[in-house]
Amino acid sequence: QMPRGNLETIHHRALVLAQLRKWLDGLKFREAFECMRKLRINLNLIYDHNPKVFLENVASFIQQLNSINHINLFLTELKEEDTTSSMYPRPDGSPVQPQAAPGQKKVDVVCDALRTTMESMDPNKFSLSILTAHVKKTVPELEIALQKVHELRENPPEAPGGVSAEEALKYLLFLVNVNDLYEHSLGTYDFDLVLMVAEKSQKDPKEYLPFLNMLKSLEPNYQRYTIDRHLKRYRKALVHLSKCGQEHFTEVLQLVKEQKLYSEALRLYPADSPQYKFLSCAYAEHLVEQQRAEEGGLLLWRCGEPVRALQAFTSSSSWRNAICVAQQIPLPPDQLALLARDLAEKLTEQRRYSEAALLLDQYAKDCEEAILALITGGVWEEALRLIYMHKRQDITETNLKPALLEALNTQVVFLEAQVATFTRHKSRLAVVREQKEKARLDMLDEDGPDCPDAELYSEASSVITASKYSQSNSRISSRSSKNRRKAERKKLSLKEGSPMEDKALMHVIGEIITTVDKMREEIHGLLRALVLFQFDKQAEKLQRVYDEALQMMEGSVLEVWPEGLQNTSAPVTGPNSTANSIMASFQQQQKPAASQQDAEVPAAPKMRNGIKWKLTILK
Amino acid sequence: QMPRGNLETIHHRALVLAQLRKWLDGLKFREAFECMRKLRINLNLIYDHNPKVFLENVASFIQQLNSINHINLFLTELKEEDTTSSMYPRPDGSPVQPQAAPGQKKVDVVCDALRTTMESMDPNKFSLSILTAHVKKTVPELEIALQKVHELRENPPEAPGGVSAEEALKYLLFLVNVNDLYEHSLGTYDFDLVLMVAEKSQKDPKEYLPFLNMLKSLEPNYQRYTIDRHLKRYRKALVHLSKCGQEHFTEVLQLVKEQKLYSEALRLYPADSPQYKFLSCAYAEHLVEQQRAEEGGLLLWRCGEPVRALQAFTSSSSWRNAICVAQQIPLPPDQLALLARDLAEKLTEQRRYSEAALLLDQYAKDCEEAILALITGGVWEEALRLIYMHKRQDITETNLKPALLEALNTQVVFLEAQVATFTRHKSRLAVVREQKEKARLDMLDEDGPDCPDAELYSEASSVITASKYSQSNSRISSRSSKNRRKAERKKLSLKEGSPMEDKALMHVIGEIITTVDKMREEIHGLLRALVLFQFDKQAEKLQRVYDEALQMMEGSVLEVWPEGLQNTSAPVTGPNSTANSIMASFQQQQKPAASQQDAEVPAAPKMRNGIKWKLTILK
């Protein structure tokens, strides 16, 4: 019986849905199903109406339907969509039903629930529905379905209602594309099954028989490898190929390189086998190309390739490993010294002076170079330690003291520049904020609180503060908000009048604070060294300059990042106010709060006041 | 002419103030002054009305008043208070005048401005007013005033209007307590001045004459020292005593120790003098008592006391300095080795294993102990370096590998425990938040949006969220807000139902995230070592566990610290709403925002996703 007309159907449906809900709540699945089928109502509603209750009563559902065709109809109509939020909204006031299995797909949950229930009830009777449940999953389980068909052929059901393999296969071909089914039958490595599918298909035997015959002639593991490769299942292909003996190892290596299956391949051979070594070397080469030379070095070293490992470690500045490998080889002393110098140079370029000094001192046996590296890096105490260790006090006068005074000068100049930049940005920030506040108040004044369009203007004023960049701030996942933040930082511009100038200024001010705050340890070390060599006056100056810089910056944090809301607006109620004006005014007030809280506002830096850097002996 | 009655005066005053403002704006200071004096209006208003204009027209002010008495009256009436915000509020709409010299005290600014102007106009004529300006500063400049009196005595003014020293002193005594003046006269070291003051005072000559005579008999520097000491001006006393020659050095040392004037004293002697050494040793002793032994050591070392310096450095674990001093002494090799072992033990207790190993290896010449220290500390690569350097590969099997597996196990167990605690706290936080939200909505529902007392209830609901701890959030200086935060952290309690439980949970969750995030480098090192020794399976497990922990925590950050406001409230306008209900409802909405922004809400931790710790060779 077809619906008779649009208008009537719509009215009809509203009533029908109410009735359906009653039936479903009463677990009267058959009545509901029949009605829905007749009136072409989407069958998903049976589940969507109350997922939890449905899953608890799957057996009753199957018994009530009591029809392979009906069950199949239900299964094939399953969609991921929730019909109670799209086609058939719930009546107002009724609670939203939670997903029964969060994280899993609805279709898979329903297919699995029905299938296991039918298997426990009567696998023979329901065999076609069971096949449907396999095939309809979001990733169709074609191989399992094919296996079940094959089983029916091997052991035909004795019960009278049973389905033959023939029928089952026919049904499968009705559900699934024939080529897909053929490929998947190949994947079972069961040639009977393959032939069975091939025969039922429209495929030309001249096409598939030679291929199948060729496969049949192969050694079983190599056969499976060939099939896996044909089906692009490279991991499985690798496992089977690895079982084909040493003569196929070149193919293994090729497959591994082609498909980058290094880790998987290593797992297939014992660590002391020559294959393991070959694979490790190939993997290491790949890692070096991927800028992962250190990991490559570890693989080479442990599989007994120290010379190649040394290369990998050296290229990745992994100097401790490089030196160990070099001593294991063992490299002759002069070459070890050269290596150490090489590594030290790289480390110096990366400003890793202490490590460079260790190499120069202990492996290149060049204490003078080591001490000079430490002095260059401002590692004063360690420099002094080597000076005393090697009795090279002469370097104190020739290099250490002049370097100390130079470092002092550099730091003072640097700090003064930072303070100047900081002050400039802070003053500018005050100006920018004042201008924005003025623009906001002007906007309010002009259009008056009686203007019913005030909401529109509140939008306009937010354009002034955040320009076009403030869109799409709602519902952001962690990942996308991270990208967004990165993208927005790029848009921040210090150019005067740029729409985000205030945020750009806050960002730069925060960076200066962090930079200066990070200097605590360095300044502490420099102060101690200066005092040791009686440069008290200079040390006092540095301590004063740094102290003033830190205090000035700490004192500015609350100014740059004020706490709480800014209550600048005039009272909003009064004889002339309306509900709209009050709301608009509150929204205006909320604007700065919301934009303050926005992820895009640079956060206030934390100062590490726990790090004590001052010397009490300096005033 | 006295005011005639309360009511009349008040009316009168309002009109008078308007007239005064006109006069002051027109720079008619005399008219204003006369009127104010008659009607007993606080003279501060002359300045407060417009500080900038007043300071620009001080000369005109003085000329118009043209009376020492009137100027003195004005000066003596100066108060720090701003009369335009206390007694005589500005009429509505008139702009607030900014402080003329922010950071400086108003009284000092005005005194100095008047004094310099009078000095440039006619110092003789205005001498009493100049004295008043000195004396009325917030820290009275009595010595300068006394000096000026003394000058008047030495060079009596020839002009007819001039004031005699006698008169000036009398006037000073009228302004200042006689004992204060006597003490300060002593401070000028000018006995003429002292006697002059003493004679004018009621002091008994039998009392002060013997003291003055005793002072007169002393050597000038010692005399000044004695006076300074008497006046408790210890810094000056030290300077004068240091000039009294070597025989008084014991007194210097005593004074320095008594008054802790070590830094000041060191500045008074050349660095190569014996006094400098004595003072340095005394200072160092003091620093050691103050837990500043390292700084003490630096002083001792540089003044040529290496043995005592060694002690100071050792006690403060300043091992590099200790070793350097020891080699300078020089300590014999066996004692140096003992020292190194001692220091290494201390460092091990502080978990500074790398430094301990360096001492054991290079100074105690015990590579085995050094390697074991590194293994204990989990410094795997450095341990391996020493193993290869000293050809002690045996330790790899006996100690390194077992320690690696133990460390792996410890880390996995630790991470699992952290994840469990984290999950527990997060679930509890969700429950607590739901309860609070429910309580808030209940409160709204019960009393209905029509209730004109809704504001009161909004207060009540804020009590629920923040309890009694949310008072006094306005206008907090940086320092006090820091203390407040510290105090509040103590009040956070994880006990179920505690008023700040949600914040306590956020705090603990943040701490767990920081702890786990900090492990990146450590895990990276452990993974590399495990891979090197073919413990791939174990390394994979650790990598998986740590990766899952990090991802779970990162995924929870937005849940625990949600962005922006929580828009949970129903629409607030409708047929039954009133202006009050709308306002109340908005305030309710704002509450959570304000408390979110409050300093007391623990901040979201930052994860260091830039630190790459994963190995690609592990899946």
Highest mean pLDDT among A35-44, A332-341, B475-484, B582-591: A332-341
Query: Residue A597 has what pLDDT?
Result: 38
Q: Give yes or no for residue A572 having a pLDDT over 50.
A: no
Give yes or no for residue B131 having a pLDDT over 80: yes
Cβ distance B389 to A327 less than 8 Å, yes or no, reads yes
Q: Do B583 and A579 touch (CB under 8 A)?
A: no
Query: Which pLDDT score is estimated for A593?
Result: 39
Lowest mean pLDDT among A79-88, A309-318, B64-73, B513-522: A79-88
Of A243, A278, A297, which one is at a domain's C-terminal end? Answer: A243
Domain boundary among B191, B216, B241: B216
What is d(CA A161, CA A503) in angstroms, rounded to the nearest whole number? 75
Same domain, A71 and A141: yes
pLDDT above 70 as % of chain A: 84
Q: Is residue B612 one of the residues assigned to a domain?
A: no
A287 in the same domain as A232: no
Peptide bond into A330 cis (omega under 30): yes
- Is there a contact between B399 and B375 (Cβ–Cβ < 8 Å)? yes
- One DSSP character per residue, A135-196 reads HTSSS--HHHHHHHHHHHHHS---STTPPPHHHHHHHHHHHS-HHHHHHHHHTTT-HHHHHH
Q: Do residues A264 and A328 both lie within one domain? A: yes
Report the C-alpha gap between A197 and A179 in whole angstroms. Answer: 9
Q: Determine the straight-line distance between the first and last CA of chain A, rounded to whole angstroms.
A: 100
Indicate the residue type of B50: N
Task: Kindly tell me the sign of the dihedral angle through the C-alpha atoms of A9, A12, A16, A17.
Answer: positive
pLDDT band for B599, please (50, 70, 90 cuts). very low
Task: State which H helix or E strand residue B9 sits in.
Answer: helix B6-25
Question: What's the rounded mean pLDDT across residues B191-198?
Answer: 86
Stretch 350-389 of chain A: residues touching chain B, C-beta under 8 Å: 362, 381-382, 384-385, 387-389
Residue B382 pLDDT > 60: yes
In this structure, is residue B62 part of a structural domain?
Answer: yes
CB neighbourhood size of A155 (10 A): 9
| A78 secondary structure, DSSP code | -
Contact B618, B528 (CB under 8 A): no
Answer for the pair B194, B212: CB distance below 8 angstroms, yes or no: yes
Chain B interface includes A469 (CB < 8 A): no
Provide the sign of the torsion angle of the four alpha carbons A478, A480, A484, A486, taken in this order.
Answer: positive
Read off the pLDDT of residues A186-231 as tens digits, 9 standing for 90 and up: 888 888 888 888 888 778 888 888 989 999 999 999 999 999 999 9
Within 8 A of A603 by CB-CB distance, chain B residues are: 603
Higher model confidence: residue B477 or residue B155? Answer: B155
Average pLDDT over every residue of A595-609: 69
**Interface residue A569 vs chain B (CB under 8 A):** no
Residue B243 sits at the vertex; the CA angle it makes with B240 and B244, to the nearest 5 degrees, is: 95
User: Is A553 part of a structural domain of the chain?
Assistant: yes
CA distance A539 to A499: 44
pLDDT number for residue B489: 59
Contact list, A287 vs chain B (CB under 8 Å) = 616-617
Within this chain, do residues A327 and A212 fall inside the same structural domain, yes or no? no
A532 and A582, same domain (yes or no)? yes
Closest Cα of chain B to A577: distance in Å? 8
Give yes or no: residues A205 and A324 share one domain: no
**Which pLDDT score, from 0 to 100, does residue A92 have?**
73
Under 8 Å between Cβ of B188 and B143:
yes
Over range B280-307, report the average pLDDT: 95
CA distance A369 to A376: 10
- Rounded CA-CA distance B356/B376 in Å is 11
Q: Are residues A18 and A103 in the same domain?
A: yes
Tell me: the pLDDT tens digits for A302-320? 999 999 999 999 999 999 9
Per-residue DSSP letter, A80: S
Same domain, A316 and A430: no
pLDDT digits 0-9 by tens, B333-374: 999 999 999 999 999 999 999 999 999 999 999 999 999 999
Q: Which residues contact A158 (CB under 8 A, 6 or more apart)?
A: none
For the ranges A94-103, A548-557, B316-325, the lowest mean pLDDT is seen at A94-103
Q: Tell whether A599 is within 8 A of chain B (Cβ).
A: yes
Q: Note whether B579 contacts A: Cβ–Cβ < 8 A.
A: yes
User: Band of the pLDDT at B571, cuts 50, 70, 90?
Assistant: very low
Q: Are residues A553 and A451 in the same domain?
A: yes
Q: Considering the domain boundaries, does residue A380 fall inside one?
A: no
Q: Could you please report the per-residue DSSP string of A486-555? A: HHHHHH---STT-TTHHHHHHHHHHHHHHHHHTTHHHHHHHHHHHHHTT-HHHHHHHHHHHHHHHHHHHH
Residues 6 or more apart whose Cβ sits within 8 Å of residue B580: A573, B452, B454
Only one residue has tokens 């001010």, namely A509
Q: Please tell me which residue, B451 or B156, carries the higher pLDDT value.
A: B156
Is A394 a domain residue? no
Tokens of A257: 């390189």
A485 touches chain B (CB under 8 A): no
Both tokens of B459, joined, read 């207060």
- pLDDT band at residue A442 using 50, 70 and 90 as cut-offs: confident
Average pLDDT over residues A508-537: 96
Cα separation, A472 vs B592, whole angstroms: 23
Indicate whether A468 pLDDT > 80: no
Query: Which tokens hold the place of B6?
Result: 């309360």
Whether residue B173 is predicted with pLDDT greater than 90 in this model: the reply is no
Question: By CA distance, what is A524's nearest residue in B?
Answer: B295
Look at residue B436 in the predicted model and tell me its pLDDT. 87
DSSP B468-524: GGG---SS--HHHHHHHHHHHHHH---STT-TTHHHHHHHHHHHHHHHHHTTHHHHH
B580: in domain? yes
Per the model's pLDDT, the better-predicted residue between B470 and A102 turns out to be A102
pLDDT value at B206 more than 50: yes
Query: Within this chain, do residues A444 and A578 fall inside the same structural domain, yes or no?
Result: yes
Report residue A252's pLDDT band, with 50, 70 and 90 as the boundaries. very high
What does the pLDDT read at residue B455?
A: 43
Cβ neighbours of residue A432 under 8 Å, at least 6 residues apart?
A501, A502, A505
Number of domains in chain A: 3
- Answer yes or no: is B165 within a domain: yes
Q: Which domain holds residue A295?
A: 254-364
Question: Is A317 or B4 the better-scoring residue by pLDDT?
Answer: A317
CA–CA separation, A426 vs A494, rounded Å? 12
- Listed by number, the residues of chain A in 287-346 with a beta carbon closer than 8 Å to a beta carbon of chain B are 287, 290, 292, 294-295, 298-299, 301-302, 320-321, 323-324, 327-328
At residue A484 the predicted structure's pLDDT band, cuts being 50, 70 and 90, is low
Q: What is the mean pLDDT of residues A575-582?
A: 48
Supply the pLDDT for residue B483.
61
Under the banding of pLDDT at 50, 70 and 90, the label for residue A461 is very low
| B166 in any annotated domain | yes
What's the ipTM?
0.75
Q: Tell me, yes or no, whether A123 and A270 share the same domain.
A: no
Task: Retrieve residue A161's tokens.
Answer: 């209602």
- For chain A, percent of residues with pLDDT exceeding 90: 56
Distance CA B424, CA A191 (A): 54
Q: What percentage of chain B reaches a pLDDT higher than 90?
A: 56
Query: Are A428 and A349 contained in the same domain?
Result: no
In whole angstroms, how far apart are CA B613 and each of B317, B517, B532, B542?
32, 11, 16, 12
Examine the pLDDT at B586 and tell me if it is beyond 50: no
Which pLDDT does position A472 carry in this prediction?
37
In this predicted model, which residue has the larger pLDDT, A483 or A284? A284
Angle at A388 between CA A384 and CA A389, to 5 degrees: 110
Nearest to B346 by CA among B378, B379, B317, B377: B317
- B528: contact with A, CB 8 A cutoff: yes
Nearest C-alpha neighbor of B189 from the set B245, B241, B231, B157 = B231
Q: What percent of chain B has pLDDT over 70?
A: 84
CB atoms near residue A214 (< 10 Å): 11
Q: Which of A307-311, A475-479, B20-24, B296-300 has the lowest mean pLDDT?
A: A475-479
The predicted pLDDT at position A481 comes to 54
> Across all residues in chain B, what is the average pLDDT?
84
Cβ–Cβ of B298/A617 closer than 8 Å? yes
Q: How far is CA A83 from the centre of its chain?
A: 31
Statement: residue B473 has pLDDT above 60: no
Q: Mean pLDDT over residues B469-488, rounded?
A: 48
* DSSP per-residue letters across B334-379: HHHHHHHHHHHHHHHHTT-HHHHHHHHHHTS--HHHHHHHHHHTT-
* Res. B477 pLDDT band, cuts 50 70 90: very low
For B295-348, the pLDDT digits (tens) are 999 999 999 999 999 999 999 999 999 999 999 999 999 999 999 999 999 999
pLDDT of residue A445: 72
Task: Using the 3D structure, point to which of A243, A262, A290 is the last residue of a domain.
Answer: A243
Instruction: Give the whole-angstrom CA distance, residue A314 versus residue A609.
Output: 40
User: What is the chain A residue with the closest CA to B593?
Assistant: A593
pLDDT at B446: 67
Q: What is the dihedral of CA A425, A431, A434, A435, to 10 degrees?
A: -120
Q: Given its phi and psi angles, is residue B472 left (phi above 0), alpha (psi -120 to 50 degrees) or beta?
A: left
Flag the least confident range among A129-143, A461-475, B96-110, B343-357: A461-475
**Does A250 or A188 have the greater pLDDT score?**
A250
Three-state secondary structure along A183-243? HHHHCCCCHHHHHHHHHHCCCCHHHHHHHHHHHHCCCHHHHHHHHHHHCCCHHHHHHHHHC
Sign of CA dihedral A384, A385, A388, A392: negative
Alpha carbons B481 and A488: distance in angstroms, whole number:
31
Distant-in-sequence, close-in-space partners of A154: CB < 8 Å, separation ≥ 6: none
